[in-house]
Amino acid sequence: MLIAFYIAGVIAVVSTIMAVTRSNAVHALLYLIVSFLAAAVVLFVLGAHFAAALEVIVYAGAIMVLFVFVIMMLNIGGETEKAKERWLVPKRWIGPALMAAILFAILSYAILNQPVATASLSIVEPKTVGISLYTQYLLGVEIAAVMLMAGIIGAFHLGYTKRKSKHRFLKGE
Amino acid sequence: MMRYLWLVPVMPLLGFLVLAFFGRNLRKSIITLIGTGTVGLSALLVILIGIEFLTSPPAGNAFTLKLWTWMSSGGLSPSIAFYLDGLSLAFIFVVTFVGFLIHVYSSEYMRDDEGFARFLAFMNLFVSAMLILVLADNLALMYLGWEGVGLCSFLLIGFWYKESANAAAARKAFIVTRVGDTAMALGLFLLITEFNTLDIRSILETAPAHWTPGSAKVVWIAFLLLGGAVGKSAQLPLQTWLPDAMAGPSPVSALIHAATMVTAGVYLIARNHVVFELAPIAMKTVAIVGASTLLIAGFAAVVQYDIKRVLAYSTISQIGYMFLALGVGAWSAGIFHFMIHAFFKALLFLGAGAVIHALHHEQNIFKMGGLRKEMPVIFWTFLAGSGALAALPLVTAGFYSKDAILWYSWSSEKGSLFLWAAAFLGAFITSIYTFRMVFITFWGKMKTHIHLRPGRAMLIPLVVLAVLSIIGGFLETPHNLGHITLFSGMLSGVLPEVHILHSGAESTELILQVLTALTGFFGIYLAWHFWMKKPGFLFRLKQTRAGAALHHWWLTGWGFDWVYDLLIIRPFTWLSNINKNDIVDYISIAPSNLVVWLHNLTRRSQNGNLRWYAAGIALGLIITLTIALFL
Amino acid sequence: MMEQIPVEQSLLLAALLFGIGLVGVLIRKNMILMMMSVEIMLNAAGMAFIIAGSRWAQPDGQVMFIFILTMAAAEVAVGLALILKLFHLQKSIDADEMTQMNDITEASESN
pLDDT higher than threshold 90 for residue C17 = yes
The sign of the torsion formed by the CA atoms of B617, B618, B619, B623 equals: positive
Mean pLDDT of chain C: 85
The sign of the torsion formed by the CA atoms of A36, A41, A44, A45 equals: negative
CB C51 within 8 A of CB A121: yes
The domains of chain A are located at 1-81, 125-159
Neighbouring chains of C at 3+ CB pairs under 8 Å are A, B
| HSE-up of residue B190 (Cα within 13 Å, Cβ side) | 17
Of the candidates C13, C50, C53, which has its C-beta nearest A12's C-beta? C13
The domains of chain C are located at 8-93
Nearest CA in chain C to A12: C17
Of the candidates C95, C104, C111, which has its C-beta nearest B610's C-beta? C95
Q: Is the peptide bond before B237 cis (omega within 30 degrees of 0)?
A: yes
Please name which of B223, B39, C74, B81 lies closest in space to residue A158, comparing C-alpha atoms.
C74
Give this complex's ipTM: 0.88
Average pLDDT over residues A87-95: 77
Beta carbons within 8 Å of B529's beta carbon, 6+ residues apart: none
Determine the pLDDT at residue C19: 93
Give tens-digit pLDDT for A21-65: 888 888 889 999 999 999 999 999 888 888 999 999 998 888 999
Average pLDDT over residues A3-24: 90
How far does C44 lie from chain A, in Å, by closest CA?
A: 9
The sign of the torsion formed by the CA atoms of B107, B111, B113, B118 equals: positive
Identity at B195, one-letter amino acid code = F
- Does B563 touch chain C if contact means CB atoms closer than 8 Å? no
Report the C-alpha gap between A115 and B610 in whole angstroms: 39
* CATH number of the A1-81 domain: 1.20.120.1200
Runs of H (alpha helix) within B390-505: 397-411, 417-442, 456-471, 486-491
The sign of the torsion formed by the CA atoms of B363, B365, B366, B371 equals: positive
Write out the E strands in B249-299.
none
Report the C-alpha gap between B74 and A63 in whole angstroms: 76
Please count the residue pairs, one from chain A and one from chain C, whose beta carbons lie less than 8 angstroms apart: 235
Give chain C's largest Cα–Cα span.
71
Chain A, window 63-122: residues with a beta carbon less than 8 angstroms from a chain C beta carbon: 63, 66-67, 69-71, 73-74, 76, 80-81, 87, 92-93, 95-97, 99-101, 103-104, 107-108, 111-112, 114, 117, 119-122
Residues forming a β-bridge with B68: B80
Give tens-digit pLDDT for C59-88: 999 999 999 999 999 999 999 999 888 888
How far does B608 lie from chain A, in Å, by closest CA?
A: 18
Report the C-alpha gap between B342 and B253 in whole angstroms: 12
- Name every chain C residue with its beta carbon within 8 A of the beta carbon of B609: 95-96, 99, 102
CB B230 within 8 A of CB B265: yes
Q: Do B625 and A110 touch (CB under 8 A)?
A: yes
| Residue B44 buriedness (CB in 10 A; 0-12 / 13-18 / 19+) | middle
Q: Do B625 and A102 touch (CB under 8 A)?
A: no
How far does B578 lie from chain A, in Å, by closest CA?
A: 55
Determine the pLDDT at residue C1: 43
Q: For the CA atoms of chain C, what is the radius of gyration?
A: 19
CB B257 within 8 A of CB B309: no
Determine the pLDDT at residue A7: 93
CA B126 to chain centre: 12
Determine the pLDDT at residue B409: 83
How far does B599 lie from chain A, in Å, by closest CA?
A: 26
CA C6 to chain centre: 26
Low-confidence ranges of chain B (pLDDT < 70): 479-482, 501-506
Q: For the CA atoms of chain A, what is the radius of gyration?
A: 22
Task: Report residue B494: phi and psi, to 5°.
Answer: -95, -50
Chain B, window 598-617: residues with a beta carbon less than 8 angstroms from a chain A beta carbon: 615
CB B150 within 8 A of CB B232: yes
How far does B598 lie from chain A, in Å, by closest CA?
A: 26
| Residue B401 buriedness (CB in 10 A; 0-12 / 13-18 / 19+) | buried
The sign of the torsion formed by the CA atoms of B229, B234, B236, B237 equals: positive
Please name which of B242, B268, B266 lies closest in space to residue B253, comparing C-alpha atoms.
B242
Determine the pLDDT at residue B502: 62
Mutate which of C103, C108, C110, C111 to test chain B, going by most B C-beta atoms within 10 A?
A: C103
Neighbouring chains of B at 3+ CB pairs under 8 Å are A, C
- Does B592 touch chain C if contact means CB atoms closer than 8 Å? no
Determine the pLDDT at residue B385: 87
CB C82 within 8 A of CB A158: yes
CB B325 within 8 A of CB B457: no
Q: Do A133 and C66 touch (CB under 8 A)?
A: yes
Give tens-digit pLDDT for B221-251: 889 999 988 888 888 888 888 888 888 888 8
| Assigned fold of C8-93 | Helix Hairpins (1.10.287)
- Does B608 touch chain C if contact means CB atoms closer than 8 Å? yes
Beta carbons within 8 Å of B303's beta carbon, 6+ residues apart: B551, B554, B555
Q: Do A106 and B626 touch (CB under 8 A)?
A: yes
Q: Do B626 and A110 touch (CB under 8 A)?
A: no
pLDDT band at A79 (very low <50, low <70, confident <90, very high): low
DSSP secondary structure letter of residue B412: B
Of the candidates B600, B614, B618, which has its C-beta nearest C107's C-beta? B600
Q: How far is CA B526 from CA A156, B398, B520, B523, in A?
A: 110, 20, 10, 5
Report the C-alpha gap between B139 and B228 in whole angstroms: 13
- Residue B376 CB: number of other CB atoms within 10 A? 11
Identity at B297, one-letter amino acid code = A
- Name every chain C residue with its beta carbon within 8 A of the beta carbon of A128: 59
SS3 B364: strand
Identity at B30, one-letter amino acid code = I
Mutate which of A103, A111, A152 to test chain C, going by most C C-beta atoms within 10 A?
A: A111
Q: Do C29 and B611 touch (CB under 8 A)?
A: yes
The helix (H) or strand (E) run that includes residue B63 is strand B63-69
- Residue B282 CB: number of other CB atoms within 10 A? 24
Determine the pLDDT at residue B249: 87
Q: Do A99 and B619 touch (CB under 8 A)?
A: yes
- Name every chain A residue with its beta carbon within 8 A of the beta carbon of C51: 46, 121
The helix (H) or strand (E) run that includes residue C47 is helix C31-55
Determine the pLDDT at residue C107: 45
Please name which of A59, A19, A62 lies closest in space to residue A39, comparing C-alpha atoms.
A59
Please name which of B152, B163, B160, B158 lies closest in space to residue B114, comparing C-alpha atoms.
B160
Report the C-alpha gap between B497 and B371 in whole angstroms: 45
How far does B612 lie from chain A, in Å, by closest CA?
A: 10
CB A52 within 8 A of CB A39: no
How far does C27 lie from chain B, in Å, by closest CA?
A: 8
pLDDT band at C49 (very low <50, low <70, confident <90, very high): very high
Mutate which of A129, A147, A148 to test chain C, going by most C C-beta atoms within 10 A?
A: A129
Nearest CA in chain B to C110: B600
How far does C109 lie from chain B, in Å, by closest CA?
A: 12
- Name every chain B residue with its beta carbon within 8 A of the beta carbon of A106: 622, 625-626, 629
Determine the pLDDT at residue B206: 86
Determine the pLDDT at residue C46: 94
